[in-house]
Amino acid sequence: MDVNFNGTTAEMLKIISDYDEVTGFNGAYNIREDSKCAGRRSSENITIESKEDKPGINIRVKPFTVGETVFIPACVTHSDVDDLVYNDFYIGEGADVVVVAGCGVHNDGEEQARHNGIHRFFLEKGARVLYKEKHIGTGKGTGLRKIDPVTDCVLDEDSYLEMDTIQLRGVDRTTRSTSAVLGKGAKIVVRERIMTDGDEEAVTKFHVELNGEDSGADLVSRSVARGNSHQAFYSVVEGNNRCTGHSACDAILADNGKVDAQPALNAANVDAALIHEAAIGKIAGEQILKLCSLGLTREEAEEKIIEGFLK
Amino acid sequence: MDVNFNGTTAEMLKIISDYDEVTGFNGAYNIREDSKCAGRRSSENITIESKEDKPGINIRVKPFTVGETVFIPACVTHSDVDDLVYNDFYIGEGADVVVVAGCGVHNDGEEQARHNGIHRFFLEKGARVLYKEKHIGTGKGTGLRKIDPVTDCVLDEDSYLEMDTIQLRGVDRTTRSTSAVLGKGAKIVVRERIMTDGDEEAVTKFHVELNGEDSGADLVSRSVARGNSHQAFYSVVEGNNRCTGHSACDAILADNGKVDAQPALNAANVDAALIHEAAIGKIAGEQILKLCSLGLTREEAEEKIIEGFLK
């Protein structure tokens, strides 16, 4: 494999993008390490090229490419890095692909280590994308580990984008901004899972414009705030045509965790049907007692419940 | 009766505060008409006095007063009035009373007619208040009819405030701001019903701080937006202690009506349990068909459903 990255990246790749040391990636890929390219491969149907005007890549998926996966992990492996990258995805008509875009930030030093990835998705007619984004922070330095992804999506007629994002530990600060503009019959599904602990802070922002007739959005965020961590969830779903929109935010509090949720619905068309719901609270006492009666300790019971909640 | 008001006020009083021309008000009252006092009566347990530093009154309810009602309707009966009034309610320990605070704005002219009532409620330990607020706009003038109520509440230990507010027609512009700070065991219940039509605009803002242990809030807003009207609903429920909070916003769209809903939950304590939900959309086709099959026209069916929704 034509790759050249350090051991820290290797460890993080296993977690964030199912990297196999023997077989590598099963598909096209681009590995970004400390603001540089540490490996790249295009496939017949998926080409990856460097941008000429700024850091980042263009990923082009040929029309009607079906069943392929493209991996674009990004790692920051030491202190005092502020990585900024622009990645654009052009998904051809009728394609059906998976994009794996994990991000790991390792920090053993005192300065901050940050990855800021600005992704744009352009889905042509009938294109389908499953976008998997797994974030992790590691290392024992006092410097902050920060990951600030921006994802802006344009969904053409009858296209479908599913975002599956997860951040379970070690990211001190994150602001995750996702916007989507949907055309006729387009659908977006977002599944977000976040767990914060210690003094971590996480902010999530969604802005979805349902502009096309029969477009739809389904946003579900599940989060757990432990320690002294703080999470804020903002979503705006605009119904500008005949459309359906749903957003949900469920959060579990533990220790001194704090969560703010502010999901907005803007119905600007009589045929827009918009719903949201949110629930924030700690794990119900009965749930824990039930598991304790089966032989688990209180801590084990709580872990089990959280594990199931974030699955 | 020691009252002196005009015919327009008389008509509006029947609608907004169940005024009976023969028997008058059954309790203490203060009638405000075009920024002046048009009648006042204190009772043994409820005293009403003018403020000395600004327009408005102080309403004092003696401790353990039970079953009494105080009426404080306010009417603006012509164009070019901008009424501003400060009314403070001091509800003594263990009292249990009803406050009827309707407001009518009549405008036959070209200039705007506005009522801006700033109400403060101070509920002492164990006090209970049912606060009824009915708003209406009438008259055929082109000048805007505006009602901008501000309600700021401080709820002491184990007190209970229920707000029942309704605005069904004729108010061109309204911004309704309600805030409440709750002590130990205090509860607030809000039931809001709004219907807008034509070019009317209505904004609702709630801000509730659940500061006391076992405090609770339950906010339910039901609204119907018809014509080219626009409604916006903002709520913030802060859970700062062991508490329960619920807010719900249900809206029916008709014609070109638009509704924005943005209910925020801020959970700052692990024992805060906060929930919200919102649903915006037009009346389901099946509901209308069902009623049509029983002999109603489409319009009659829609009216029936809206009537039930706002009941």
Supply the range of the domain harboring residue A252: 7-310
Distance separating alpha carbons of residues B71 and B103, to the nearest angstrom: 11
Task: Determine, yes or no, domain membership for B224.
Answer: yes
Segment B303-308 shows an average pLDDT of: 90
Task: Determine, yes or no, domain membership for A1.
Answer: no
Segment B172-198 shows an average pLDDT of: 97
Tell me how many degrees the CA angle B23-B24-B26 measures, rounded to the nearest 5. Answer: 90
Chain A residues within 8 A of B262 when measuring between CB atoms: 262-265
Comparing CB atoms, the residue among A266, A274, A282 nearest residue B281 is A274
Query: Does the pLDDT value for residue B79 go beyond 60?
Result: yes
pLDDT in tens, A21-47: 888 888 999 999 999 998 999 999 999
Task: Determine, yes or no, domain membership for A2.
Answer: no
Distance separating alpha carbons of residues B273 and A269, to the nearest angstrom: 33
Distance separating alpha carbons of residues B305 and B301, to the nearest angstrom: 6
Alpha-carbon Rg for chain B in angstroms? 20
Distance separating alpha carbons of residues B255 and B227, to the nearest angstrom: 5
Comparing CB atoms, the residue among A239, A270, A273 nearest residue B255 is A270
Decide: residue B29, CB within 10 A, 0-12 exposed, 13-18 middle, 19+ buried. buried
- Output the furthest CA–CA distance in chain A (Å, rounded): 62
ipTM for the whole complex: 0.88
What's at A283, amino acid-wise?
A: I
What's at B299, amino acid-wise?
A: E
Query: Does the pLDDT value for residue A271 go beyond 60?
Result: yes
pLDDT in tens, A85-94: 999 999 999 9
* Predicted local confidence at residue A2, as pLDDT: 64
Number of domains within chain B: 1
Decide: residue A20, CB within 10 A, 0-12 exposed, 13-18 middle, 19+ buried. exposed
Query: Does the pLDDT value for residue B1 go beyond 80?
Result: no
DSSP B149-191: -EEEEEE-TT-EEEEEEEE-S--SEEEEEEEEEE-TT-EEEEE
Our CA-based measurement puts residue A293 at a distance from the nearest CA of chain B, in whole angstroms, of: 23
Task: Determine, yes or no, domain membership for B221.
Answer: yes
Q: Is A278:A286 a contact under the CB 8 Å cutoff?
A: no
pLDDT in tens, B130-167: 999 999 999 999 999 999 999 999 999 999 999 999 99
Is B272 in contact with A265 (Cβ distance < 8 A)? no
Segment A126-148 shows an average pLDDT of: 94
pLDDT bracket for residue A109 (50, 70, 90): very high
Residue A161: CB atoms within 10 Å: 26
Proportion of chain B in helix, strand, coil states, percent, rounded to 5: 10, 55, 35
- Looking at chain A, the whole-number percentage of residues with pLDDT higher than 70 is 99
* Predicted local confidence at residue B2, as pLDDT: 63
pLDDT in tens, B167-178: 988 999 999 999
Distance separating alpha carbons of residues B244 and B187, to the nearest angstrom: 9
Distance separating alpha carbons of residues A184 and A187, to the nearest angstrom: 9
Is B264 in contact with A268 (Cβ distance < 8 A)? no
Comparing CB atoms, the residue among A260, A265, A278 nearest residue B280 is A265
Beta-carbon contacts of residue A244 (< 8 Å; ≥ 6 apart): A210, A216, A217, A272, A273, A274
Segment A282-293 shows an average pLDDT of: 87
* Predicted local confidence at residue B125, as pLDDT: 98
Q: How far is CA B239 from CA A97, B73, B192, in A?
A: 43, 34, 22
Query: Does the pLDDT value for residue B24 go beyond 60?
Result: yes
Of A5-19, A46-60, B54-68, the one with minimum mean pLDDT is: A5-19
pLDDT bracket for residue A131 (50, 70, 90): very high
pLDDT in tens, B81-120: 899 999 999 999 999 999 999 999 999 999 999 999 999 9
Segment B36-46 shows an average pLDDT of: 93
